[in-house]
Each structure stands twice: as C-alpha cells, then as structure tokens.
Amino acid sequence: MHHHNRLPRKGGTTFIALLMTTTVAFPALAAETLDEVTVTGTREAELITQTPATVSTVTGVKIREIKPTHPTELFNRLPGVYVSTTNGEGHKASIRHPNTTNPVYLYLEDGIPTRSTGFFNHNALFEVNVPQAGGIEVNKGPGSALQGSDAIGGVINVLTREPSTTPETEVSVEIGSHGFWRGLLSTSNGWEDDAARADLNLTHTEGWRKDTEYDRQSVNVRWDHYTPSGASLKTVLAASNIDQQTAGTSRLNLNDYKNNPTENYTPISYREVQAVRLSAAYEREDDGTLLSITPYLRWNEMDMLPNWSLGYDPQVYTSGHSSLGVMGKYRMDFKPYESRLVLGADIDYSPGMRDENRITTTKVGNVYTTYALAEKTYDYDVTFMSASPYVHAEATPMDGMRVSGGLRFDAMRYEYDNNLSVSSTGNYRRHASNTVNFTHFSPKLGVTYDFMPGLNGFASYKHAFRAPDEGTLFRSGKAADSIHLDPVKVNSYEVGVRGKPTKTLSYELSGYYMVKKDDILTYKDNTNVRIQTNAGETLHRGVEAGVGYAFADEWKLDMAATYAKHKYVKWIPDATTDYSGKEMIEAPRWMGNVTLGYAPSFLPDVTAELEWVNMGEYFIDETNLHKYTGHNLFNLRAAYAVTDTVKVFGRALNLTDERHAVASSYGNSGHEYAPGNPREYFLGVEAKF
C-alpha cells in the first residue's frame, strides 16, 4: 500500500463545501437587475447578462482600497482564480488549470495584448501597473472570437484608470516589513474636449528571503480626446522597469523549509525587465454602427539568470521583442431580433531576439555562490507575424434570450534567423534559419437567458488554441526536433447562473468541462533521443461559486470557492513512463476566499476587512504518491479617514504566520518547497487634493 507523505498542516475544505452547497440554494425572489458590464469580450461595454462566460471583476475603487502589495491580493478574491506570489511581484496563476507558468493565459491592457503571442512571459503582470489600474476583468476559460492564441485558461484584462474632468491629485506613501516602501502619485485634469491622467509607481523591498531585493518604477499616461463629431481618441503610454534578485519558486529541502525558510539556494539568479507600450484607440459611433481602430507599439526586453534550471541547464540570457500592430473592428446593429454583427481583424508584426550563454557555477553546499560565462549557446533573431480576421454575431430570437457566435482565423508566421552554427547533437541543438507557419480556426457559440428579473443563466462552447512560442520552437535544447509542432488545442463547455435576488445579495455559479489536446511534450525514446511532440492530453473540470451579501448596514460578506479536478488523460514522457489517468501536479481541488468587511456606524471614518485565503491539498509528483497539504492564510486591512482628504491605512498579511508553500515538488531530492511570505505589516498615508 502507498502512503501519502504530508506536511502537518491541512487546508480547510468543510466551509467551502458548505458554501458551494448554499450558493445554489439562494432563491431568486426579488426583482433586482444584473446591470454589471464587461468590456473584455467585445472590446466595448456589454451587459454581463448578455455575456455567455464567467467574468469576474475588481473595480478601480476596490484596487485603491486594497492597495495590493502583490497582485495576489486582488485576484484571489475571485472564484476560480488563484495567483501565487513568487517574489517581488512575480507570480504563477491557476485559472481552470493547475498552478502553472505555462502559456495558457492571455494578458491584456485595455484589450491590447501586453506581449506578442510568440514571446509569452508568465510574469506578464510585472509589466503592468496593477496598483494604479482603473479595474481588472478576468474572463475564465477560452476567450471570445476577438481573442486569439494563448486565451485558453483565461483572459486577464487590466484597465487603465480614466482621467477626471476636474483637477485631482492623489499621493500615497507606505512602508512595510522587510524594507518595503512604495510611493504612488496620480494626477488628472480636464479641459474642453480633453482629459488626461498621469500615474507614477515607485516600489522597493529588500525581500524576506536572502538576496531577494526588488525595485520597480512604472509610469502611465492616458489622454482622452473627444471630437465635435462625437468620436473619441484614447491614447495610453505605459512604461515599467523592474530589477530583482530572484528566489521566487526556488525550492528548499524539507528541513530548511521548516527551520530556515529565509535561505536562498540561488542568490546568483536575477531578472531585469523593461517594457514600454503606446496605443491610440479611435472610436466613432453613428446610428447603429461603430468603427474602432487601435494602432499600438510595444517594446520589451528581459535579462535573466533563471534559478529553476541551475541544476540541469545553467544559463544567462537576454530576450525581447518590439511590436507594431493594429486592432480594427466594425460593428453594425440591426432592428430585426436586436441583432448585431462585428467584423474585425488584428495584425501584429513583432521582430524579436534571443542571446544566450551557458554558465559554469560554483556551489557551496546547497547554495550557488558564483558563476562565469561559458560558450554562447543561442543567438538568433526571430520575427513573429500574424493576421487574424474574425466575425462575431449576436441576436435575440425570443424575449430574454441572447444568442452569440463567432469565428476567428489566425494566420501566423515565424521568420527565424540563426546567427550561430547549425548543431544537431549535444545539449544545445540549433536549427538552420527557417520559416514556420501556423493557421487555425477558432469557433465560439453561446447563449444567455433571463429566467426572471434578477436571475440569468448562460451556456457556451468555445474552441481555443495556443501556438508554440519562440523558445519552444527554436531553443531546442536536447530535442532532436522542435519546429514541427502543432498548436495546443482546447474544447471548452460551460454553463452558469447569475442571481441578484435582493439589493443586498448576489451570487454566481458556473461549471466547466475542458479538454486540452496536442499539448507539447518532450518525449525520450529507448535510445535516449528527445523529441518535442504534440502528444499530451489533459482534462479540466470544475465548479466555481461566488456570493456577495450585505447582511447588515455595517457588514459585507464576500465568498468565492472552487472545486476542480485536473487530470492527465494521455501523458507519456518516455518509453517506460506513463502518467495517463493521474491527477496533474500543483492542481488543488479546493480553493476559496472569504472577506468580511466592517464599516461601524459609531466610527463612520473607519473601515476594516478580515480575509481568509484557503488553498487545498494537491499532488506534487506525477505518480500521485506525495502531497502538499494546503494552507490557510488570514489577512487584516483597516483604514481611517482623518479628514476628507487624508486617510491612514494599514494591513497585516498572513496574520498567523502560517508556514506555507507557493510551489512544491517531490523528486530525487525528496520533498522540496518554495516558502511563501511570512507575517508582514504595512502602514501608509494617502492624501487627495
């Protein structure tokens, strides 16, 4: 008999099970409307009741109330979403997938991808100024016809903050544990047909683990202009510079995890990121039509010594790309059946590069202390190009029912130029200069139905895909062939209900069934030859629930819960190993969040919030013999409005100082865990003028 090896702490699931049972039991009795809107699916405001997808939002007001140290403080409040801290503002995400760094999410800023498809970065939120955003939308599951590659597990759209029409300035300064300090400045004004806002974010922390210092500088400028004809032009400039020493998901052995969690085995690792984006969104709406054209420019570069590969592939590299693109659409509305037709196309031209050196390392005990450059292993230029026309249609065939469908065609090309010799042997194989093409159709179908005022349901089928990125295709490693790959494909089915039975109660419940095929595996045959191949298949099933309830004038309760199972259907990494039928690693079945807000009437200038974050147990090896037992974290936030313009705020994160892991594994070295942040305190003051 096999025994599961566990850490001594367990994630609580009883309350979450009760929550999910209770959620569907709320009767929809009162005639309250569900009037929330979303902008991600169609790139313009649309009632959420007419969106056949599960969409969760965080408003700009809530972002400024929470003042997140890390994006996890925002995203983990949403049903079906878990973003874990690595270090600095690095992250891993779990949205209808295990907690992963794989390219299964599409990150947008005001609807524009923050990176090109060919240059995915799982730390995409690094490059976005989240604490000063105007809102966040998370579309769970595959995106709409207006989104292309990468929109498999979910679409995260960070919205810039609208400028004010009158003079407005906000300043926030805060300090915290482990040498943390941050200054936020936002100023805005309007005049005649224009309004503008400028934001500045300066952040620093020494890091709680050894050698994990982090610095960030971000600037956002938004200018909204309205013409006499009624057209609008929104111009956005966003720039970020990040410099960090990384421990991140650098794991420790079990003894150090328990007794010496500040240790960092990889102090030589680092990550430096620079990103600039400029866009100008033009919209003109006439009787029954809307024309939208958004040209954009992107530039980013990342210098990196990754810690996760030091044991088997030590390297240091620079990668980056520039982009010139345009997103255009034309929407037409018709009276029969309140129908709508959207025709559009996205074009992206993104030249990029990779320059990589092997390094030799010096190791003292478990710690990598120094390194020296060795031979250059990769030096290539690669240009990603895509042209993606799409059509999206909606109609109301009967009262209360809205039917929608879409079809997108993506034509993609990589032009790869190898600046080194061709190599077909060894650890760093290099292809000759080449061109790789992908084409793919993505159909979408959905229906929403208003059962009664305050109760809405939906169902959808969505097909999505992910084209291999440049690193997968052209950084071959030991693989004999890496360029003859197909896109990863997903078929997703979803149903859900949304209810607002009273003014003080709202809820949502959704279930999904998603099959991912042609996942990319590095297969090792009997002769030890490695080949990258589309041989993986996984199954993702789950139920997500959310409840908001103001049960008294002074109290507000928000609850989110998820139960999911992620399974390897077909997963054979070599000729003698078969994980088919096993649960996927780092895939908790249970995730939950409960926040209790309190605004006492006898202290009208005080607000407080207690938050419980639950992560359930999950397997840490593909054989399903070893588990991480999960964790429970508690956070406390409070604010006091000293005057109408000055507010003092504070928060305590991980109140009970729970030892927990943000990444876990079991292998030849036994149990290894990357420790999450201990108890931390933050205090700040905010002034508005």
Higher pLDDT pick, 150 / 301:
301
Q: Assess whether pLDDT exceeds 50 at residue 11.
A: no
Higher pLDDT pick, 2 / 317:
317
Residue 315's alpha-carbon distances to 186, 378, 421, in angstroms, are 40, 10, 19
Encoding tokens for residue 581? 């039928």
Encoding tokens for residue 189? 């004004």
Higher pLDDT pick, 449 / 576:
449
What average pLDDT does this structure show over 336-360? 96
What average pLDDT does this structure show over 243-260? 87
Which of 2-11, 281-290, 518-527 shows the highest mean pLDDT?
Answer: 281-290
- In the structure, what pLDDT confidence band is assigned to residue 374 with cuts at 50, 70 and 90? very high
What average pLDDT does this structure show over 158-171? 96
How much of the chain, in percent, has pLDDT values that exceed 90? 77
Predicted pLDDT of residue 4: 36
Q: What are the pLDDT digits (tens) for 36-70?
A: 788 877 878 788 888 888 899 999 999 999 999 99
Predicted pLDDT of residue 21: 33
Strand partners, 343: 330, 391
Q: Residue written as tokens 């054209």?
A: 293
Task: Kindly give, in sequence order, each residue whose CB lies less than 8 Å from that of residue 505, ignoring residues fewer than 6 positions away.
Answer: 26, 547, 548, 549, 550
Predicted pLDDT of residue 525: 65
Predicted pLDDT of residue 672: 92
Total residues belonging to the chain: 689
Amino acid sitting at position 384: F
What average pLDDT does this structure show over 509-518? 96
For 130, the 3-state DSSP assignment is helix
The torsion of the CA quartet 16, 566, 78, 459, rounded to 10 degrees, works out to -100
Predicted pLDDT of residue 29: 31
Predicted pLDDT of residue 401: 96
Q: What are the pLDDT digits (tens) for 264-291?
A: 999 999 999 999 999 999 999 998 999 9
**CA-closest candidate to residue 501, choices 451, 544, 555:** 451
How much of the chain, in percent, has pLDDT values that exceed 70? 94
Strand partners, 517: 489
Encoding tokens for residue 30? 């009162």
Q: Alpha-carbon distance 169 to 246, whole Å? A: 34
What average pLDDT does this structure show over 77-83? 93
- In the structure, what pLDDT confidence band is assigned to residue 135 with cuts at 50, 70 and 90? very high
Q: How far is CA 208 from the centre of its chain?
A: 24
**CA-closest candidate to residue 154, choices 534, 544, 537, 571:** 544
* 188-192, 244-248, 330-334: segment of lowest average pLDDT: 244-248
Name all domains of the chain by residue range, CATH numbers in brackets.
Answer: 14-688 (2.40.170.20)
Predicted pLDDT of residue 176: 97
Q: What are the pLDDT digits (tens) for 219-234?
A: 999 999 999 888 999 9
* 244-253, 336-345, 407-416: segment of lowest average pLDDT: 244-253
Q: Alpha-carbon distance 256 to 247, whole Å? A: 14
* 21-30, 269-278, 346-355, 474-483: segment of lowest average pLDDT: 21-30
Q: What are the pLDDT digits (tens) for 537-592?
A: 999 999 999 999 998 989 999 999 999 999 999 999 888 889 999 999 999 999 99
Predicted pLDDT of residue 13: 39
- How far is it between the farthest Cα atoms of the chain? 77
Q: Assess whether pLDDT exceeds 80 at residue 531.
A: no
What average pLDDT does this structure show over 188-199? 96
Q: What are the pLDDT digits (tens) for 281-324?
A: 999 999 899 999 999 999 999 999 998 888 888 999 999 999 99
Predicted pLDDT of residue 34: 61
DSSP 373: E
Query: How many Å from the N-terminal Cα to the C-terminal Cα in the chain?
Result: 68
Q: Residue written as tokens 């084409």?
A: 439
Predicted pLDDT of residue 527: 64
Q: What share of the chain is helix, strand, coil (3-state, %, to 5)?
A: 5, 60, 35
Higher pLDDT pick, 406 / 249:
406
Burial-class residue 193 by CB neighbours within 10 Å (0-12, 13-18, 19+).
Answer: exposed
Predicted pLDDT of residue 607: 95
Antiparallel, parallel or unpaired: β 670-675 and 661-667 = antiparallel
